[in-house]
Structure 1
Amino acid sequence: MKLKNTAHRNLIFVLGERDWGLGYLATQLASLPEEDVVWVTTAEGLSGNQVASFQVKQLLGREYQCAVVDLYSGFNPDAIAVVAGTVVGGGILFMLAPSTDQWDRFNDPEYKKLVTHPYASEDIEGRYLRRFKELVLSDSAVKLIRQERSGGDENPGKDENIANTDVAQPLQGEGGCLSVGQEKALQAIKNLAQGSKKNALVISSDRGRGKSTVLGVAAAQLLLEKPLNIILVAPQVGSVAAVVEHCIEGLSIDELSVKSPAREILSEAAQHAPEWKNNQLNYGQGKLKYFAADEIINRKPQADLVLVDEAAALPTFILSAILALYKRVVFSTTIHGYEGNGQGFRLRFCKILDQEVPRWGAVKLDESVRWGEADPLERFIYRSLLLDAQPVNINNILQGDALAVRTELLDRDTLSADEAQLRELMGLLMTAHYRTTPGDLRGMLDCPNLRLYGVFFKNRMIAAAVIAEEGGLGEEWMDPIWLGQRRIRGHILPQSLSQQLGLREAIQLRAARVVRIAVHPDLQGQQLGSNLLATLSNDLKEQGFDYIGASFAVTAQVLRFWNNNNFATLRIGMSKEKSSGCHAGLVMRSFTAAGEDTLQLAEKRFLAQLPLAIDEYLRDISPELVLALSSGVSPNHLAPNDLGLLDDQDCLDVEAFTRGHRNYETCLLPLRKKVLLNMDRLNACSNVTVLERDLIVKKIIQKLSWQEVINSLALNGKKNAQNLLRQAVEKLGAEV
């Protein structure tokens, strides 16, 4: 293959039998160095880089001239999105697939991941692949190579030949200069790092615009100027490979283009190429170190600058915690990508930035540096996977009209053929949930146990819900699931009730799980979500479901939404999930007598164990979440030893404590009584400040040590904490 200086990438489908296609591609790509080609396949016997679709995140930060995705191994939209981003300008993404006339009946290996008992792969109707086929055949930029038979021989067909498609060098193959946008972002990072006031910077772009390069170069130049402690945060350590690589390159003295006054005093060890070891890069007295998001919040390491890469893939509350902990933070985010949705990030987190650091800066990288503008591969990937979907523009349809809406169960056959409505649906979900991925679109179209609801205003979708049918399992599953010997795909609510809560017969009940619920960001707070839940609940009740529920990453705000819609909290997970940094929660609302019996038993068990859980594995949750969990709970539940009301001596003890005559440790029982009997006031912050509320919860309810309380609330020592607690308890009021 000849090398040309063009930056556009190509997408080529190789259509035919699998063995023919693999052999044909291996022959055609043999002239390229093995390190320039990656194969995504389960086939054996291929040379070079090879991963299965579930391993593609290993490829993050890497670049290839050519990539081959074997769709015979499974059509995985998330994997395709990742792999497409590794192909450099001028490169080719090959997709090996059956002839397009076979796609409607193709037994995709991925179907096994889309079905739950009692469904089988044969129950999938293939809506997603039908839609994808239409997009392939209608795009003139997509090239096809078809297998033809002539006298028993298998030869490439007439549509295209790889020899006619050149592979070019990357756009930055010569010189490696930063783009104008990158230079602007680099200077903005350096200005932030050198500033004296608390501030933040957001760098956003689509993929291929060089955000990782900017972060790496900035870290290198800052470390060269003075010994800084720079922390790098990302959803997973593999995501920062490109940042680290560019930082190491920038710290190579021989290639450095910037002058550093510190160079002359660098130790001899720093004169050699730095090494990334144990998630850390040392350079002189400075360092660049990676921390997982939950780790940085729990450990609170010191840092002069924090770089958060792929911020859209992290929950908003984690980003807020990082912002609160550190003086200088850079948030780098992909606008449209597999890592998480930048639109949701923009709508949710930027509002927090406005409140906390009103002078925060923003730089958007528009110029592609890894492939050319109007790249055919990027255009097709965005269109087919709906990476750039957005909710409807409300300003174009409201025009002062009353919000008269209709809610309906969506017909998925009709939906799969309506690109405009699909884009509105995915746009809603991506703004509502930080982890929405291209694979979610396939699930919504193909999973037999899913049903979709939409809320429409003037025929435009403004809210949506995804519901999974679960439960109704036979007696043969009862003991194996209850004893933890079996776990079947899906059926999250029934299996949680059985395994975690010990309700052996709960798997037999018919359940409806709310997988996603989303309301247009400009229309939130108008009861659209609550009304949608009420409408679909009525439908499900009429259809014989025993209950509706949800499992989600618990925050106080989200939990209150469910509680306000009459869902009872039944479970909080023992440990935080790595993906969200939150404990998992389970809520439920019953429709039938059997469902209500199960709910009552589960809620009783949960409330009885809640104070013990708060003392043990929930000691690190926020005070706001403690109060949300405890909302409406009687004092006897929070005080299982039947503490009772405050007697006269208790009142004297509380008064003595608030006046400074008694120590906290000598008044433990009356103080706990006092707080538990005033939970409603505490929850409403009606007569205490937020800091006073948090202090009461952490010390008296969660029973943290004085040092833990001081550290978490940034108080000035034990005496300050004790005086503030005396004041807070006194302000709870004399009434009981």
Structure 2
Amino acid sequence: MTLQPIYQQLKQQAEASQHRYLLVISGEHTWAWQQVTKIIEQHALIVSKPPQDIVATLEQLPLGHTLCQAKQATHYLGQTRQQVIFDAFHGFSADAVGAVSGTLKAGGIMVLMVPPLQDWPSFADPDYQRFLSAGTPLPTQSHYLCRWRQRLLNDRNVTIVEQHANQIELTLPHPQVNNTAPCPPPYLSQDQAQTVAAIIRVKRGRSRRPLVISADRGRGKSAALGIAAAQLMDQQHHVRIIVTAPTVNHVHALFEQLKRLQPDAQHTNSQVNLGERQVHFYAPDQLLNQLPCADLLLVDEAAALPLPLLMQLDQHYPRVVYATTLHGYEGSGRGFSLKFIPHLQQHNNSVQQQHLSQPIRWATQDPLETLIFDALLLDAQLPQVDSKIPSSEFPVTMEVVSGARLYQYESLLREVFALLVCAHYQTKPSDLRAILDNHKLTIALLKQNDTLLGAALINPEGDLDQALAKQIYLGQRRPQGQLIPQVLLYQAGLEHIYKDKFARIMRIAIHPQLQQQGLGSLFYQHLKHWAQQQGFDWLGTSFGLTPDLGRFWHRQGMHFVHLGLKQDSASGCFSTIMLQALTNEKAFALEDHRALFSQQLSYHLSGSLQHLSADIASLLITTLPKQPTPPWLLEQLINVSLNPRPLASCLPLLKQWLVQHTNFDGLSVLQQAVLIARVLQQQPWHQIIHKHELTGKKRAEQLLKQSVQQRLQLELS
């Protein structure tokens, strides 16, 4: 059996059609590598951790190939390759497969090395270690890999080479020739040219008219941003363009275009300078903290950023372009469309939208793109629902299903996954594997009759071995799948909670057309009842804290017990943990947890959390356990508010009052912000005056005293 002639035929067919094809090499690992080394092309991207002898063989091949592990796959976003080789023996990461498949250009071949197909679903795949809880045995039969095997065998555009087959035949359908008309440079499609013109109009036209660019991968979206930035640098003597994205790797194509079109400028991987013409990349958290001036803000892979962060950028910058991938692990494009675009329309003069449909890196109806979309559920569609839940004879109920059942019912699996993608910006193709193969994960569905209204994922945590708990407490272990007990043991120092049983809500999603009808609260009550029946001590959740999310969980009966001290670099949010006690015994323990959190928050607000936003700080302070204000403190506060005492000497009293005894009801947003910044965060007056555009220190102190008076009047009435 000789592979090279078949590979050359496959390559010729791909180049003729400008399509990309998948070649599967199935057999023993050593044999698979022997085949692959015969067909490696120049500059191939190889995703593997091969044995040392294979590494030595590869080093002898002067082909300029790149070797990386699956966890590094996202580093190559925006690059293009003629060949991608993926070694599934070292972990079949769905995220990595999705990422590297997008780097393959027209005429390219993706080579997938897998165990014998009949044995693949029972293979001890190392990728399971990323999501299975510590100590959980690997599944004996992977539904996820069964589903992949089925698709490979049924796809006539996939060529499969098996170790013990007598011969190899190329049975691909006759290729369709791409007849797309050429486009004048620097554009590679008419879509791209129109998009560049639309970006430039955002800079030149009236303010508060943001542009939303949408596309599937391979349509030249990021390159269009780079072309537009280069043209603006040509057209204007002074222009400052800021670029942001989840990581700088996501805008590789943008800066490559700038390097090509502005060769005389000074270039790095994250900025371009040509006199007073600048393009600078800022990470999302850095951008929010600094809010630098910009004539134009370009946000790439916007759907991979949380909505609250995008809303803050929209509020601050008058000229913004949001570019997003509709499908893919980069983010939930449909959730972005359903939630963020209406926000833009409400808060701006108008919103322009531009869609790139024509592929640039490959021809239309690409076989590899079709397979990847189907296998990773990137094209999953939301279930059809009425805009309102009918209050007829069909009650809303909750049903717990297994991954095995979802594997058997593909239509239901697609609907569940579509709901999760729309609800959470961090949902990725790898979550599909967890849903199908993690038997400890509880999948709960909210239904009315046969209509799917919502979905939730719950992970069991806690009930730890004492020795393991001690190691976590000392910072020596961070076991997978134990997020809440790990944080409470190590960071909060709650050593006694190791035997507690936690049901952590990882995801909860309501159909976007049915939100604001109380279904989220109804779903939560079902989940709470289920968790009590299962014998859990706590119902908990962990998420990037925003005011809306925090208020939602607090309304359900959850309380804050932990807040991270650093913002997530992608989301700009602080992670938090909230808990609800499910037994009377734990209800008493919760009060101790809340009291400890109150002390920690009070301390960190003037330190690590000194720049926590006022809306978040207000939410947290309001939810802390409160006691009636003692008479002596009331007397002191009245004295402070009515007499010209130096405020600096009164700050400890005001801090104690705000944290332990009162809330911010009845105060304006500005009043809350000034109280929090000066009293709790101990920010200097000049910083507060500048941020809130106050006329001076005297006005600022008057505002603070008036706020105290107003709050006291409400408290005493």
Identify the residue that residue 542 of structure 1 maps to in structure 2. Answer: 533
Identify the residue that residue 397 of structure 2 maps to in structure 1. Answer: 406
Pick one of 68, 74, 79 that aligns with 1:62: 79
Percent identity of equivalent pairs: 32
CA shift in 2, pair 1:584/1:359, >3 Å: same
Instruction: Point out the more displaced range, 91-100 or 664-673.
Output: 664-673
Report SS of the residue matched to 1:392. coil
Q: Cα deviations across residues 3-50 of structure 1 (Å, max 9, x unaligned)?
A: 544322112212222222222222123xx4x22x21111114225111
Write the mapping of 1:37-48 to structure 2, written as runs, cut at 5 A. Answer: 37-43=44-50, 44-45=54-55, 46=58, 47=61, 48=65
Q: CA deviation at 1:483?
A: 1.6
Q: CA deviation at 1:282?
A: 0.7
CA shift in 2, pair 1:463/1:243, >3 Å: same
Identify the residue that residue 214 of structure 1 maps to in structure 2. Answer: 224
How many angstroms apart in 1 are the aligned matches of 2:668 and 2:587?
38
Segments of structure 1 that go 5 or more residues without pairing to the other structure are 151-156, 253-271
Pick one of 17, 31, 40 that aligns with 1:20: 31
1:478 paired with 2:495, answer no
How many angstroms apart in 1 are the aligned matches of 2:247 and 2:83?
25
Q: CA deviation at 1:490?
A: 1.5
The one-letter code of the counterpart of 2:145 is L
Write the mapping of 1:215-230 to structure 2, written as runs, cut at 5 A. Answer: 215-226=225-236, 227-230=238-241
1:118 paired with 2:135, answer yes
1:240 paired with 2:251, answer yes
Contact 2:565 2:574 in 1 (8 A): yes
How many angstroms apart in 1 are the aligned matches of 2:572 and 2:522?
30
Identify the residue that residue 505 of structure 2 maps to in structure 1. Answer: 514
Q: CA deviation at 1:549?
A: 1.0
How many angstroms apart in 1 are the aligned matches of 2:387 and 2:562?
42
Write the mapping of 1:341-490 to structure 2, written as runs, cut at 5 A. Answer: 341-395=332-386, 404-490=395-481
Contact 1:146 1:159 in 2 (8 A): no
Pick one of 96, 109, 122 that aligns with 2:113: 96
1:555 paired with 2:558, answer no
How many angstroms apart in 2 are the aligned matches of 1:540 and 1:531?
14
The one-letter code of the counterpart of 2:345 is D
Q: CA deviation at 1:244?
A: 0.2
Q: CA deviation at 1:668?
A: 4.0
How many angstroms apart in 1 are the aligned matches of 2:218 and 2:80?
11
Contact 1:117 1:489 in 2 (8 A): yes
How many angstroms apart in 2 are the aligned matches of 1:149 and 1:39?
25
CA shift in 2, pair 1:397/1:655, >3 Å: closer
Contact 1:470 1:494 in 2 (8 A): yes
Q: Cα deviations across residues 312-354 of structure 1 (Å, max 9, x unaligned)?
A: 1111111112222222111111110111111111122212212
Contact 2:212 2:354 in 1 (8 A): yes
Report SS of the residue matched to 1:734. helix
Pick one of 209, 215, 227 that aligns with 1:205: 215
CA shift in 2, pair 1:115/1:86, >3 Å: same
CA shift in 2, pair 1:301/1:147, >3 Å: same
Identify the residue that residue 634 of structure 2 maps to in structure 1. Answer: 646
Contact 1:172 1:370 in 2 (8 A): no
Identify the residue that residue 3 of structure 2 maps to in structure 1. Answer: none
Report SS of the residue matched to 1:352. helix
| Alignment RMSD | 2.9
CA shift in 2, pair 1:663/1:224, >3 Å: farther
The one-letter code of the counterpart of 1:504 is E
The one-letter code of the counterpart of 1:700 is V
Contact 1:207 1:336 in 2 (8 A): yes
Q: CA deviation at 1:437?
A: 0.3
How many angstroms apart in 2 are the aligned matches of 1:18 and 1:172?
43
Report SS of the residue matched to 2:195. helix
CA shift in 2, pair 1:401/1:176, >3 Å: farther
How many angstroms apart in 1 are the aligned matches of 2:313 and 2:551?
24
Instruction: Point out the more displaced range, 550-559 or 615-624.
Output: 615-624
Aligned pair count reads 692
CA shift in 2, pair 1:108/1:187, >3 Å: same
Identify the residue that residue 105 of structure 1 maps to in structure 2. Answer: 122
Q: CA deviation at 1:725?
A: 4.0
How many angstroms apart in 1 are the aligned matches of 2:710 and 2:382?
46
Contact 2:241 2:296 in 1 (8 A): yes
Identify the residue that residue 153 of structure 1 maps to in structure 2. Answer: none
Q: Cα deviations across residues 272-296 of structure 1 (Å, max 9, x unaligned)?
A: 3x34227221112211111100101
How many angstroms apart in 1 are the aligned matches of 2:435 and 2:145?
13
Contact 1:498 1:504 in 2 (8 A): yes
Report SS of the residue matched to 1:28. coil
The one-letter code of the counterpart of 1:608 is Q
Q: CA deviation at 1:306?
A: 0.9
How many angstroms apart in 2 are the aligned matches of 1:382 and 1:643?
66
CA shift in 2, pair 1:337/1:534, >3 Å: same
The one-letter code of the counterpart of 1:198 is R
Pick one of 122, 130, 140 that aligns with 2:146: 130
How many angstroms apart in 1 are the aligned matches of 2:297 and 2:496?
50
The one-letter code of the counterpart of 1:130 is C
Identify the residue that residue 256 of structure 1 maps to in structure 2. Answer: none
Report SS of the residue matched to 2:578. strand
Pick one of 686, 699, 721 that aligns with 2:678: 699
How many angstroms apart in 1 are the aligned matches of 2:129 and 2:652?
56
Contact 2:382 2:415 in 1 (8 A): yes
How many angstroms apart in 1 are the aligned matches of 2:35 and 2:388?
52
Identify the residue that residue 188 of structure 1 maps to in structure 2. Answer: 198
Contact 1:636 1:644 in 2 (8 A): no
How many angstroms apart in 1 are the aligned matches of 2:394 and 2:565?
42
How many angstroms apart in 2 are the aligned matches of 1:108 and 1:673?
54
Contact 2:161 2:168 in 1 (8 A): yes
TM-score by length of 2: 0.90
How many angstroms apart in 2 are the aligned matches of 1:174 and 1:136?
39
Identify the residue that residue 708 of structure 1 maps to in structure 2. Answer: 687
1:625 paired with 2:630, answer no
Q: CA deviation at 1:430?
A: 0.8
TM-score by length of 1: 0.88
CA shift in 2, pair 1:560/1:397, >3 Å: closer
How many angstroms apart in 1 are the aligned matches of 2:391 and 2:492?
49
CA shift in 2, pair 1:592/1:634, >3 Å: closer
CA shift in 2, pair 1:652/1:402, >3 Å: farther
Contact 1:513 1:548 in 2 (8 A): yes
CA shift in 2, pair 1:241/1:724, >3 Å: same
Contact 1:391 1:424 in 2 (8 A): yes
Q: CA deviation at 1:464?
A: 0.9
Instruction: Point out the more displaced range, 66-75 or 505-514.
Output: 505-514
Q: CA deviation at 1:703?
A: 2.5
Q: CA deviation at 1:218?
A: 0.4
How many angstroms apart in 2 are the aligned matches of 1:231 and 1:114?
36
The one-letter code of the counterpart of 1:187 is A
CA shift in 2, pair 1:670/1:403, >3 Å: farther
Write the mapping of 1:291-306 to structure 2, written as runs, cut at 5 A. Answer: 291-306=282-297
CA shift in 2, pair 1:414/1:632, >3 Å: closer
How many angstroms apart in 1 are the aligned matches of 2:637 and 2:660?
13
Q: CA deviation at 1:56?
A: 0.5
